[in-house]
Amino acid sequence: MTVPLSKKLLSQINILEELENLNEDELFEHYKFTADKGQELLRIDKFLMDRIPNSTRNKLQNAISDGHVLVNKRIIKANYKVKPLDKITVELPYPPQEIELIPEDIPLNILYEDDDVIVINKQANLVVHPGYGNYTGTLVNGLIYHFEHLPETTTPNRPGLVHRLDKNTTGIMVVAKTEHALSHLGKQFFDRTTERRYHALVWGDLNEDQGTVEGNVGRSLKNRKVMDVFPDEDYGKKAITHYKVLKRFGYVTLIECKLETGRTHQIRIHMKHLGHPLFNDDEYGGDRILKGTTFSKYKQFINNCFTILPRQALHAKSLGFEHPTSGKWMQFESDLPEDMQTVLQKWEVYMENRIKE
């Protein structure tokens, strides 16, 4: 059972969900148009409003900003004017559908709980919320089993959620137990006053000990299931990741990332954009040998590491936020999961042996 939100909180929660870009399991309705030979110059949003049923200017402008509207296979700006014979393709997300949430006895590693919040250390291979293709077996199913009353968000199937982690990213998450906590935490994420630090193992030896990656993150134009970085500020959403080197292993590097924004796959795509994809990240090219030797012994070593760590090497190491009731700053830390620790130990030994040789 979930507790419905009061109307006065809806706008605040909408802000939160826009920030966190949670709708990554969307289905899209597709449209294709070819402008007539005699088409007069007309703004793209007005052109589409006359042709797509039940569309609104705001919805279309968001679709243009997110790169879901292409003209002649190219990204366009919101002020683009349609010309004769332009070929236009549109993808609009269907509104999310309510799914019956079934409580499931899924083990949760709870680090802290009070009347307002729950802080958990999420395990790998656990989807955070139900969506297309994942209707059960999610963190939310486990949460409503252990905690009957969680506040609803404006997006169905996500009671209590104020942020998320990818299925195979481990680490700390905070969940709201009350409407007040949901609103208060949501505003902190929107205002970027939370502190989130991740540890990641990436391919290659970074040139600098620390740095910042800036680049708008949006849906890839080639594969809508993954993200990409775009230099054009009119496409995607602003994303900033600060990183620093923790340990170098020659062919791979352990880094810490501090998020200034919270976009879908942000660290994963930013590090790929930097030329250092996450170790064994199968969606962003890290699941093959990118650095090192061609010796069969080395290949076997990497394959063994992939077997031990069958996911991207990313862990949400720490999370800090202001408690929604007491106002006290709360800081939580978590150890690296066993699979990442084991792989790092193997790299330690490998590099020691390589030095001896």
Residue 65 Cα distances to 24, 92, 177, 271, angstroms: 16, 12, 34, 23
pLDDT for res 96: 60
pLDDT for res 329: 98
* pTM for the model: 0.78
End position of a domain, from candidates 144, 161, 191: 191
| Nearest partner of 138 among 147, 146, 125, 127, judged by Cα | 127
Same domain, 135 and 70: no
Report which DSSP code applies to 281. -
pLDDT in tens, 334-343: 999 999 999 9
Residue type, 313: A
Torsional sign, CA 177, 183, 185, 189: positive
Domain total of the chain: 3
Same domain, 240 and 341: yes
| Nearest partner of 130 among 23, 288, 44, judged by Cα | 23
Same domain, 345 and 231: yes
Same domain, 204 and 186: no
DSSP string, 121-141: EEPSS--SS-BTTB-SSSHHH
Same domain, 347 and 212: yes
To the query of whether residue 166 is one of the catalytic residues in this protein, the response is: yes
CATH code of 17's domain: 3.30.2350.10
End-to-end CA distance of the chain: 62
Same domain, 203 and 289: yes
In the three-class reduction of DSSP (H, G, I as helix; E, B as strand; rest coil), residue 68 is classed as coil
End position of a domain, from candidates 166, 191, 216: 191
pLDDT for res 62: 84
Which residues partner with 113 through β-bridges?
118
End position of a domain, from candidates 128, 156, 191: 191
Question: Choosing from 45, 86, 166, 339, which is the catalytic residue?
Answer: 166
Residue 81, domain extent: 28-93
pLDDT for res 234: 67
pLDDT for res 151: 94
Same domain, 187 and 232: no
Q: Which residues of the chain have pLDDT under 70?
A: 1-28, 94-98, 132-133, 232, 234, 356-357
